[in-house]
Chains A and B, each alone.
Chain A
Amino acid sequence: MKWLPLLLVATPVLAQEPAVPQFRAEPAALAHRFSGEWTFMVGGGVAAFDCSGDGKPELLMAGGTAPAALFRNDSTEDALRFTPIPAGVEMTDVAGAYALDIDADAVTDLVLLRVGENVVLRGLGNCRFERANEAWGLQGGDAWTTAFAATWEAGAPWPTLAFGNYINRAEEAFPWGSCTENWLLRPDGRRFAAPIPLTPSYCALSMLFTDWNRSGQPALRVSNDREYYKGGQEQLWHVVPATPPRLYSEAEGWQRLRIWGMGIAGADLDGDRYPEYFLTSMADNKLQHLKAPGPGTLPQYDDTAWARGVTAHRPYTGDDPRPSTAWHPAFADVNNDGFTDLFVAKGNVWEMPDFAEQDPNNLLLQGADGTFTEAGDRAGVASGLQARGAAVVDLNADGRLDLVVVNRNGPAEIWRNTGPVGHWVAIDPLQEGAPNRNAINGWVELRAAGRVQRQEVTVGGGHAGGTFAPLHFGLGPADQAEARVIWPDGTEGPWQPVPVDTVTQIRR
């Protein structure tokens, strides 16, 4: 936390409250429910990705006992509108979904996390998909899958996939301690090899491949639900090409943390090149800041959630003093002021009276001093439904990040961000002809008004779903910017001017 006092001295706009964006609920835009009982008390993810080629993301929503559904994005600048279309995704028991281009054919593919067999769907174009488990050799298993992440290991033709599994659902009276094995699926040519168990497994609810130490070698961060594991903790796995996955140990500096881990979001909030991680839980949430950023750093973190105002431990509306339950976290600049904000989806697990029933989502706006201010109620997104998955993404291509939330046993909610606008850029890094076409686990850096913002390109994290779209940066007062990509192999692309208020593809 050494940087905080420095910022307090150096930042002249300290006293400025972040501008509160206004979100307009658009209940007619989309009709969907994530439903189910015990096996769908978790999950409820949404994947946002463009499969129609119009630059506006479609939405794939898990349905639980109802079928999953793909919604074509027919939004305009003035209204959000989504139309369910037959796409090949309409299967039940889906808890989550992620989009990525597995076979590098420039057509987005999908991974569906299910209570039962996981399914990979090959993109056919024009928002049509077909089952590819057999063609791609992907073993879907028969577990209660609740987490997913993907990366491209150096030299590999296809991605390495990590699946996080939850409780053994056959256990009734003694389900605790019955966490089933997480899996790592590595490619074998243009197929997937047999799963490698990631044991010990501790009921993962979120996974993220991330280059936490900027070594160029992403590791697998796993957030686990302490409600169900025994002897467990949060995890970080070495995933090094051609070697078995291996846990970071205490001898390597890993520090034990045991939370109701439900979601992971990463962002370099303080400009030190290293990502902070927000971990959702029940009651206090965690914001981890690397203790000693720099070459050779150890995986040791301070919890800066309180110092930065993001504990989000209880409802901020109403008078319910009971603690909160947090699910999907997402870092994103929702007011385009150049400072990354934080959205947290909230909702009671399932009639748990020790925790808040009316548990509004958080929209925490970062100020210039690095602290966050709650604005969910003022912004209009403080819903009290049982939120699970979410996406913070520009749904109508107007440069303002909109919001969609999946609620358990309730209607999905969607909000259009009506501003203020502010300048912005969106960067779409592209490695044409390479296996890792979308530069997953590369970094995009943006330089504007004397500051550098950076984001890691990832597939995974959140709660049971994620966004596969160009990376959005707010510019604040700046009206011009430069960007560069640090490609997944560590090659630093050149800084180049990028036009503002539009999406720019940076090719390699």
Chain B
Amino acid sequence: MDLRRRHFLTLAAAALSAPALPARAAATGGTEKVILDWYRLILELVRHTATYSPPVAARAFGYLGVIAWEAQAAARGYPSLAGQVNGLPPRPNDRMARDPAAVMQGALTAGVRALFGNTGPTGQRAMNAMQKRLDALVGGRAADLAKGGEIAAHVLAWAEGDGGAHVQNLGFPDGYEPAKQPGAWVPTSDIRLQQAPLLPEWGRVRPMAMADGMACALTPPPPYDETPGSAFHAEAMEVYETSKTLTDEQKIIARFWSDDPMLSPTPPGHWISILIEIAARDALPAERLADALARLGMAQNDAFIACWQSKYEFNLIRPVTYIRRLIDPKWQTLLITPPFPEYPSGHSTMSGASAEVLTAIFGDGFTFDDATHADDGLPVRRFASFRAAAQEAAISRLYGGIHYRAAIERGLDQGACVAQHALRLKTL
């Protein structure tokens, strides 16, 4: 396998970096490699599987994180998430396994194959290649591999009933009738498939760590108003004026966090990428890595549920529609406006949640380099903290012309709220 890509460049920097966590001896063999290699492939599969819009990607990261944690818990005696997260029952006849790496390999193989069963021929081929190589690497007992498969099957059976397991027509429903009232979202593109908004029912998907989609409900955005000088008009004017004076740095920021589906690992994948780069750089022990992936994935899953609940509760018009209608008919956005309502900003909610989780795990003021888009020719960006990165991700949506400020700021708040639910779970 040619794992020559820039992920491995970070390994060279490991010696220069202060360890983020207290070193903990962990005789887990190749478990870390199993996790990291599968996750590198998962980021590609998210990018190259057509169903994987950001909410769907976040769901996969949630369940894969749980699978990784349950595999680690079963092999090393840590607490299971069963009974802690919504609706996950304990596994029957649980028994300790000998080889954590083999259990992890069995679990992630089954999990990835199930969650990406609808990927294309190249993804199928890549999964086969990854399984073959990691099977050879761990050389584990068949019983341990099988145990991993059982763990994944248990989690996947739980996943099947969450309301988000089956996405039709790439998430765009047939026959959607946009609301008529002023200020309501209307389609923003000439793409026929996107004349209905993405996944309007996603707010009702069962969350993992928070009670339901309303657990982190938002106050309404500024009331829709076409009057110059009104709060709403002022927000639109801020987006418009900002677009006219964008600096090169602001353009880079907008594109860096654009994280378009099918052209990137999506916003949740961006944060997963940040985590696995840090894990590789700092040689994060397997149990810490699995814990972080589980908490981050669950928070991301729940963040999109909370955010989508709010989006379709308020169903707000996008800046491109408002500005062209009332301010400048020829206005162009730097980023392509996503095909769903505006408030709150999904990237802000999800980034807010991700940053809170990672801050809790790695600490405030944790400096890191983000090379998520290096392969796409975008520069590596350095951040002084996870929260600083989340704030940049959030404001990037204003630079890109796709969100008003309220959606950005309150999205971050909503994400911080969501994260607390994932952080309350007992693991290590």
Which residues of A does B touch, CB under 8 Å?
37-38, 41, 167, 171-177, 226-228, 230-231, 258, 282-284, 303, 305-307, 311, 313-314, 321-323, 349-355
Contacts and interface: CB of A to CB of B under 8 A. Distances in A.
A283 to B, nearest CB: 5
B48 A227 contact: yes
A349 B120 contact: yes
A321 B167 CA distance: 12
Given A41-B121, A227-B48, A283-B170, A313 B193 contact: yes
A352 B121 contact: yes
A282 B174 contact: no
B93 interface: no
Given A284-B191, A355-B50, A174 B3 contact: yes
A174 B44 contact: yes
A38 B125 CA distance: 9
A352 B120 contact: yes
B197 to A, nearest CB: 16
Contacts of A228: 122
A174 B5 contact: yes
Given A231-B376, A283-B191, A323-B193, A173 B121 contact: no
Contact of A283 (B122, B193, B376): B193
B126 interface: yes
A38 B262 CA distance: 20
Contacts of B1: 172-174
Contacts of B2: 171, 173-174
A173 B41 contact: yes
Interface residues of B, number: 36
Contacts of A284: 191-193
B377 interface: yes
B129 interface: yes
A313 B3 contact: no
Contacts of B129: 172-173
Contacts of B122: 38, 167, 175-176, 227-228
B375 A350 contact: no
B191 A173 contact: no
A349 B49 CA distance: 13
B163 to A, nearest CB: 19
Nearest to A232: B376
13 contacts: A173-B3, A173-B130, A174-B3, A176-B48, A176-B122, A177-B375, A227-B122, A231-B377, A311-B192, A314-B193, A322-B169, A323-B193, A351-B121
A1 B191 CA distance: 16
Nearest to B128: A172
Contacts of B5: 174, 177
A291 to B, nearest CB: 12
Given A231-B377, A307-B190, A352-B120, 11 more contacts: A37-B121, A38-B121, A172-B129, A173-B3, A174-B1, A176-B44, A177-B375, A226-B263, A227-B120, A313-B193, A354-B50
B219 interface: no
Given A173-B1, A227-B122, A355-B50, A323 B375 contact: no
Contacts of A353: 117-118
A354 B121 contact: no
Interface in B150-208: 168-170, 174, 190-193
A306 B262 CA distance: 22
A350 B120 CA distance: 7
B315 interface: no
Contact of B169 (A38, A175, A230, A321): A321
Interface in B7-37: none
A41 B125 CA distance: 13
A231 B375 contact: yes
B51 interface: yes
Leading 10 A-B pairs by shortest Cβ distance = A231-B377, A172-B129, A231-B376, A173-B129, A354-B50, A350-B121, A230-B375, A353-B118, A311-B192, A230-B376
B133 interface: yes
Contacts of B378: 231
A442 to B, nearest CB: 33
Nearest to A167: B122
A38 B129 CA distance: 14
A235 to B, nearest CB: 14
Contact of B168 (A37, A172, A321): A321
B51 A176 contact: no
B347 interface: no
